[in-house]
Amino acid sequence: FALFFVCICFLFIINGSNLIDGFNGLLSIHSLIILVILFLINLIYGNNELAQVLFYTILIITIFVKFNFPKAKMFLGDGGAYFIGTLISVSAIITNNLTPEISSFFFCILLFYIFFEVFFSFFRKIFLVGQNPLLPDNKHLHMLLYKFLLAKNKKKLESNYKVSIYINLAYLIMIIPGVL
């Protein structure tokens, strides 16, 4: 059961990373938040090899954000989103295994937003709408927020990057108590 559960979690995080990649800065800034927290945990607990990998990944994503936010001149694409999702999943599992002093529940909270986008969509389609859960739709949190912002100010680019700001700010506020 544990192997099946971990595989499902991997699938949800990787797919969720690709799902939220469509808005300027949403995945890159969100992954920065997660990776910085994982980096600090590994640095504090002396897991220097993983901390070093996370540091260089943070550096690369920070440079990418310069070209992706607020006006996108560069995109991650499917390969980049899948890579970041895989890196986040593997790093969270390794960090969890290397730091038994930290509750596994903390890592669930850390990955909640990416997981939630896929999990909620999957079950909403099956139980509430009766749709095929594998087909795309536009009822995800970030898309609904974009539609709301667009209806409010009619500026596509501004609405696009504001989605990233609002979601990541809300996520950061909710994750801070867990980090402390």
The answer to whether residue 37 scores a pLDDT higher than 90 is yes
Most confident of 46-60, 67-81, 102-116, 157-171: 46-60
The answer to whether residue 1 scores a pLDDT higher than 80 is no
Q: What is the pLDDT of residue 28?
A: 94
- Cα separation, 23 vs 40, in Å, equals 27
| In contact, 38 and 136? CB cutoff 8 Å | no
The answer to whether residue 60 scores a pLDDT higher than 90 is yes
- Cα separation, 122 vs 132, in Å, equals 9
Q: What is the pLDDT of residue 119?
A: 86
The DSSP annotation for the chain comes to: -HHHHHHHHHHHHHHHHHHGGGSTTHHHHHHHHHHHHHHHHHHHTT-HHHHHHHHHHHHHHHHHHHHHSSS-SS--HHHHHHHHHHHHHHHHHHHHHH-TTS-HHHHHHHTHHHHHHHHHHHHIIIIII---TTS--S-SHHHHHHHHHHHHH--HHHHHHHHHHHHHHHHHHHHHHHH-
Percent of the chain with pLDDT over 70: 100
Q: What is the pLDDT of residue 59?
A: 97
Q: Where is average pLDDT lowest: 41-45, 77-81, 119-123, 164-168?
A: 119-123
Both structure tokens of 113: 């937003």
- Cα separation, 31 vs 67, in Å, equals 16
pLDDT digits (tens, 9 = 90+) for 137-152: 888 888 888 889 889 8
Q: What is the pLDDT of residue 70?
A: 83
Question: Is the model's pTM score more than 0.95?
Answer: no
Within 13 Å of residue 16, how many CA atoms lie on the same side as its CB? 26
Q: How confident is the model at residue 53 (pLDDT cuts 50, 70, 90)?
A: very high
| In contact, 34 and 88? CB cutoff 8 Å | yes
- Cα separation, 25 vs 65, in Å, equals 6
- Cα separation, 38 vs 110, in Å, equals 9
